Homo-oligomer: A and B are copies of this chain.
Amino acid sequence: MNTTQKLSHTLKQELEALLGPEGVLTDPVALRAYDCDAYSPAKHFPDAVALPQDTEQVSAIIKLCNRLGVPFTPRGAGTGLSGGATAIEGGVVIATTRLNKILHIDVPNRRLVAQAGVVNTYLTKAVRAHHLHYAPDPSSQGACTVGGNVAENAGGPHTLKYGVTTNHVTGLTLVLPDGEIVALGGFEEETPGYDLVGLVVGAEGTMGIVTEVTVRLTPLPQAVRTLLAVFETIDQATQTVSDIIAAGVLPAALEMIDTFIIKACEEAFHLGFPSDAEAVLIIEVDGLEVGLDEEADQVRQIAFKNGAREVRQAKTELERALLWKARKQAFGALGRLGLSMVTHDGVIPRTKLPQVLREVRAIAQKYNLLVGNVFHAGDGNLHPNLMFDERDPEQVERVMQAGEEILKLCVDVGGSLTGEHGIGVEKMEAMTLLFSEADLDLMQKIKSVFNRNALCNPGKVLPTSKRCWETEHGPRLVRSVGRGAAV
């Protein structure tokens, strides 16, 4: 055996001593399932996958990795869209699959404590009988885990009214990159001292591994109205978005789907969507039953004032579910087209929507690419999807250049690189578009407090070089579709 093989052997043996043989995967076939997340271009085999069942086991694995000098990468369900769960430098993937228990439910004080591997929707299922729910609802919520949501500060269609993950997490159990266990936050809304919960939420697993999460539970709305407004032009739809917000209405969700995606969804699901419309909005208002019809009416009038040719309202829970199916499974529908796809995640001031959507179309035309938009319009969180054939290097080059132009456009109008998918490995170098050297230095220093020997999820979030993204060769902004991507 050479040194690498010896290390590998030791690693396997020691992991099995900690977790039993059923808690360790080293077979190459098994490891293939862990070579990337939903950002597939960054493919890297780990040396082993560890499947701990509690915080102490996570701590023991991390201490072992430190002793052997082996990097480790946390992983939830692998639905992430920026490569955060990929073992860039090999080593151990610490998967939270078996950290799947709900530990505590406090209905009167509206808190739930779950292990990090509990699937998002299971949180709501556990408390729905008490008319409560866990509000953040990424489209992948049937698969993604609360620990992964914490790592990426996940959003979803209802973040417009209810906020993203960080607004719903009050406490964390964190295993630091040296194996020490700390309790951050707690049950209260705010905890004294520095807000380390807020710091770790969205840190993309670079500050240690979260093993337990205390979340806020939110009352289910008494009533809901879900509307589908159909427009001849994108500008009519974006103006409706602006006008709804300006009128002081705060919809639970305000989502836009353009003609490209509508057609793909129709072909996939036959939902009866108007395939000739340029854009539709899914608008949901919720709250007390009293007054809600008036609020829905107000939304309807704003849509008609802006030229909506039709506004449908879901009359049953089934009709509502179908409207949401188009939105939440749009990416599955695109997968049927057999093309590869890049999904961008730029955020812009809401008032810039008409301008930016026009310019995104112009960029796609310039590079001769198909583009489809399905996104959180109310939040100004774009998801332009550029379609291409990844077997054609010339198309790959075009799609990358178009992607860079789109991200720069978002930053130029006062926006940002990502709304909910994270930086991961995908957009690290693009951070220099948004942050000064001093800003990034400060982030690096904070990262180093947690991650002194850089073994914890290495090669993520912060740019490795400080050179300008424009002149250097950045990471590939390419993602293939069909892995249940969550947007």
Residues of A whose CB lies within 8 Å of any CB of B are 106, 108-109, 131, 153, 155, 164, 166-167, 176, 180-184, 186-196, 198-199, 201-203, 219, 222, 242, 246, 248, 250, 287-288, 290-292, 294-295, 347, 349-351, 379-380, 414-420, 422-423, 427, 431, 434-436, 438-440, 442-443, 445-447, 449-450, 461-462
Contact = CB atoms under 8 A, between A and B. Distances in A.
A192 B416 contact: yes
Given A181-B438, A195-B202, A287-B287, 11 more contacts: A109-B349, A166-B190, A167-B167, A189-B379, A192-B431, A193-B462, A194-B203, A195-B198, A195-B201, A196-B442, A288-B294
Nearest to A415: B188
A347 B106 CA distance: 17
A183 B439 contact: yes
A427 B222 contact: no
Contacts of A443: 193-194, 196
Contacts of A187: 349, 414
Contacts of A192: 416-418, 422-423, 427, 431, 434
B416 A351 contact: no
A196 B188 CA distance: 21
B131 A191 contact: no
A80 to B, nearest CB: 14
Contacts of A153: 190, 195
A176 B442 contact: yes
Considering residues A167, A422, A438, A439, which has the most beta carbons from chain B within 10 angstroms of its beta carbon?
A439
A452 to B, nearest CB: 10
5 contacts: A188-B415, A192-B422, A198-B198, A291-B294, A442-B450
Given A166-B195, A194-B446, A347-B188, A438 B294 contact: no
Contacts of A180: 438
How many copies of this chain are found per oligomer? 2
A379 B290 CA distance: 26
A445 B446 CA distance: 9
A179 to B, nearest CB: 11
A202 B449 CA distance: 20
A153 B194 CA distance: 11
A443 B106 CA distance: 28
The 8 closest A-B pairs by CB, nearest first: A291-B291, A198-B198, A290-B291, A219-B248, A108-B351, A109-B349, A290-B294, A188-B416
A203 B191 CA distance: 11
Nearest to A420: B190
Nearest to A207: B194
Contact of A447 (B176, B194, B417, B440): B194
A193 B461 contact: yes
Nearest to A181: B438
Contact of A109 (B199, B292, B350, B422): B350
Considering residues A188, A191, A422, which has the most beta carbons from chain B within 10 angstroms of its beta carbon?
A188
A276 B253 CA distance: 48
A307 B141 CA distance: 44
A109 B414 CA distance: 11
A245 B250 CA distance: 21
A451 to B, nearest CB: 12
A250 B445 CA distance: 41
Given A108-B350, A192-B427, A446 B449 contact: yes
Nearest to A294: B290
A181 to B, nearest CB: 7
Contacts of A194: 199, 202-203, 443, 446-447, 461
A312 B393 CA distance: 73
Contact of A199 (B181, B195, B295, B450): B195
A198 B192 CA distance: 13
A413 to B, nearest CB: 10
